Amino acid sequence: MPPVSEILLFVLALAAAGVVAGLLAGMFGIGGGAVLVPIFFHVFGLLGVPEDVRMQLALGTSLAIIVPTSIRSFMAHRQRGAVDMSLLKGWIIAVPLGTLVAAVIAAKASSVELRIIFAVIALLLAFRMIFNRASWSLGTDIPGNPVRFVVGSGIGVLSGLMGIGGGVLNNTFMTLYGRTIHQAVATSAGVGVLISLPGLAGYIWGGWELPGLPPFSTGYINWLAVLLMIPITLALAPVGARLAHAMSKRQLEVGFGIFLIFVSLQFALTIIV
């Protein structure tokens, strides 16, 4: 058991991450997982959680926190009438299915493999957002099935492997097909709901009764971290949503891209060092 002073430091770090995650949930239509996963990975490491389960624990705990955060963010955006409900209804099977597949993969993958996936996808999406051009377009409207189903499943798989609410991927998909960044952000909050609920169940199953998990854990979910973070992220998500609607398209894109680069580099360092 680490000293009380170290535990207090961990609690403060998690609380600060919760503030940032809540704001980002509202601003970018994400559940804050891109912030929480790296923080959890390091905090669990300092608490002595073995590396072979640490990344999975960070991913699962992040998805558990995203459940209420995504719901709150989705409701805030829906009140503004910006959510594409037709797209969400078309993904009600595809996205959860992909997320459950991700939980199975994560249970078998190594910590390093999961960190590489996280860092590479984040970096690719960052450059897409920062260097975005109007000419970067795949069409004027979102395609129907089977393309839509395949994309939804893919978003579920990749998001589940990154412990995120799918906003980073859905934002890219929707804007490439002519949708505004504001509508993409709003709809991504709903995608986060479709990812986090099955993701929570999948990561509980994937880590069920495994050795090396810290106290208050059910599978790859640490409930102590969840209970600490949820109130903070819930309180800040509506504030982030208001900030998003006060910003321009370009400001959202660049800000989101810079944030993703920071996250990607941070995880790359954990692999190299």
Residue recorded with tokens 């970096």: 123
252 contacts 181 by C-beta, under 8 angstroms: yes
For the CA atoms of 133, 134, 140, 145, the dihedral, rounded to the nearest 10 degrees, stands at 10
CA distance 35 to 113: 19
30 contacts 63 by C-beta, under 8 angstroms: no
Give the pLDDT of residue 218.
94
Nearest-5° Cα angle at 254, 184 to 73 = 40
List C-alpha distances in Å: 180 to 30, 128, 231, 237, 245: 16, 15, 30, 20, 12
CA 15 to chain CA mean position, Å: 17
CA distance 194 to 190: 7
- List of E strands, the chain: 217-218, 221-222
CA distance 222 to 197: 16
Collect the ranges in the chain with pLDDT lower than 50.
none
CA 125 to chain CA mean position, Å: 13
What is the tens place of the pLDDT at every residue in 228-266? 888 887 788 778 777 777 777 677 778 778 877 887 887
Give the pLDDT of residue 258.
85
List CB contacts of 48: < 8 A, sequence separation 6 or more.
2
Q: Tell me if the bond preceding 146 is cis, omega within 30° of 0.
A: yes
| The residue count for the chain | 273
Give the pLDDT of residue 68.
83
Give the pLDDT of residue 18.
74
List C-alpha distances in Å: 214 to 1, 52, 72, 148: 11, 13, 29, 39
CB atoms within 10 A of CB 261: 16
What is the tens place of the pLDDT at every residue in 106-121? 988 988 888 888 888 8
